[in-house]
């Protein structure tokens, strides 16, 4: 494509819509109307969007100059003018944002920059097209890596550490480092952990036992755990995570979900991480109801294994980009801990029960969590700050998960009676 942009047609280009809209708005004090990109079609007026985001920008003069580079409201700025803008006003921007903008200019082969991509960056928003524009071609960041920066405070070093623990791309790590505000904090994983510990301590006092609580004859009478005879009580498919077999079971789950879950929530947000966690929990109890139909289930291993397996799979898939220290050793330690916990669960399942004829809790919830982690979890962790609905694999894995949930529901309704399975009596 040449430097000259083609004339827009009246009925097709969103930039023309923005231009015609600009003709109807009175322009005061040389403030121009922000042109729209194609992905913002159907949203509010460009002027309103600009006013809403103006307070969060750290280079208002840059914005004004950028508007001057697009007097025809085409929605694009030429890369030459864009580079001139950055050289003139780059000192007003966060250094890492300046790097991203320069990378955007370097990687664009069409000779023009989408104005909305510029706006998204300056207002701490990124679009999928913006990410793709940066990743195309040979991108060169102009300054030293985030890991080499000195003079950081304790909180800044913590944020940098989390970025290197979870994100494989330097440009994403710098973006996260600049934009993270700890508001809101990683409340989901911390809250879940506190509630699990509180229920365990309560049960320990009631049963007068903290090690291998599951062997107590009254353990199954709790209203939270999943029991095959009480599978019609739908809340048990979730609340079983607040019951643990003993302090050895709770301890490992708590350590893993704090060491892995909290950093992941700091980067990807509570909504995404809670989705992976809860999806793993539900998949775990449903897997037990399908594959180990006579057994109860307790513990948060389904959710924990979903998060940990997603994180480990993301590291393996982005091995060269992940810069966390001793990653091979730490992966080995994590796998050993998970294997130990899984082995304990298998041993307990086939150990003579303390409340025959009902067996001890099943280990199938671990496997259900792993399956969620390496499918839905990986897609979420690989798409930092990107719209999941734009990812084909997201819809594929989500459809598979929904089909499994529906299958398990019908299985629980009809299979038990059709198979004439003899279940243990209710507690």
Known catalytic residues?
A: 301, 366
Residue 297 bridge partners (DSSP)? 226
- Using only C-alpha atoms, the chain has a radius of gyration, in whole angstroms, of 27
Which tokens is 54 given? 């103006």
SS3 label, residue 389: helix
Half-sphere exposure of 305 (CA within 13 A, CB side): 28
Q: Cα(246)–Cα(110) distance, rounded to whole angstroms?
A: 62
Total count of residues recorded for the chain: 427
Q: Token pair for residue 299? A: 């513990």
Distances (CA, A) of 315 to 65, 269, 320: 42, 19, 9
Instruction: Kindly report the backbone phi and psi dihedral angles of residue 143, in degrees, each rounded to the nearest multiple of 5, phi listed first.
Output: -125, -175
Buried/exposed 156-184: b ≥16 CB within 10 Å, e otherwise: eeebbebbbbbbbbbbbbbbbbbebeeee
Alpha-carbon distance of 309 to 338, in angstroms, equals 10
Alpha-carbon dihedral sign for residues 121, 127, 132, 133: negative
How many CB atoms are closer than 10 A to CB 148? 7
Phi and psi at 297, nearest 5°, equal -150, 140
- And the tokens for 347? 């041993």
Q: Does an H or E element contain 258, and which?
A: none
């Amino acid at each position: 494509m040449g430097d000259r942009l083609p004339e827009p047609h009246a009925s097709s280009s969103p930039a023309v819509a923005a231009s015609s809209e600009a003709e109807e708005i009175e322009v005061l004090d040389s403030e121009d109307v922000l042109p729209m990109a194609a992905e913002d079609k159907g949203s509010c007026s460009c002027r309103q969007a600009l006013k809403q985001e103006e307070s969060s920008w750290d280079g208002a003069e840059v914005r004004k100059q950028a508007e001057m580079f697009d007097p025809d409201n085409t929605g694009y700025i030429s890369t030459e003018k864009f580079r001139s803008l950055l050289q003139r006003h780059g000192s007003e921007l966060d250094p890492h944002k300046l790097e991203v903008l320069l990378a955007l200019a370097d990687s664009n082969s069409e000779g023009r920059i989408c104005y909305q991509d510029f706006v998204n960056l300056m207002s701490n928003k990124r679009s999928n097209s913006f990410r793709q524009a940066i990743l195309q071609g040979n991108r060169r960041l102009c300054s030293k890596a985030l890991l080499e920066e000195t003079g950081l405070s304790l909180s800044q070093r913590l944020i940098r550490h989390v970025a290197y623990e979870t994100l494989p791309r330097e440009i994403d790590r710098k973006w996260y480092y600049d934009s993270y505000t700890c508001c809101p904090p990683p409340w989901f994983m911390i809250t879940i952990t506190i509630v699990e510990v509180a229920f365990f301590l309560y049960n320990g006092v009631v049963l007068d036992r903290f090690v291998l609580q599951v062997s107590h004859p009254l353990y199954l009478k709790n209203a939270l755990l999943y029991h095959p005879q009480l599978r019609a009580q739908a809340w048990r498919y979730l609340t079983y995570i607040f019951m643990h077999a003993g302090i050895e079971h709770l301890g490992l789950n708590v350590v893993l979900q704090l060491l892995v879950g909290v950093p992941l929530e700091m980067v990807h947000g509570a909504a995404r991480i809670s989705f992976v966690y809860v999806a793993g929990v539900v998949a775990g109890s449903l897997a037990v109801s399908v594959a180990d139909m006579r057994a109860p289930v307790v513990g948060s291993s389904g959710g924990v294994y979903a998060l940990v397996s997603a994180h480990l799979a993301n590291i393996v898939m982005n091995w060269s980009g992940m810069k966390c220290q001793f990653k091979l050793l730490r992966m080995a330690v994590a796998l050993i801990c998970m294997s130990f916990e899984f082995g304990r669960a298998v041993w307990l399942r086939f150990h003579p029960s303390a409340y025959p004829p009902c067996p001890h809790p099943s280990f199938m919830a671990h496997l259900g969590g792993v399956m969620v982690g390496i499918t839905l979890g990986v897609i979420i962790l690989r798409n930092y700050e990107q719209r999941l609905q734009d990812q084909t694999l997201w819809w594929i894995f989500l459809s598979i998960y929904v089909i499994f949930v529906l299958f398990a529901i019908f299985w629980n309704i009809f299979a038990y009676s059709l198979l004439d399975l003899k279940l243990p009596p209710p507690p």
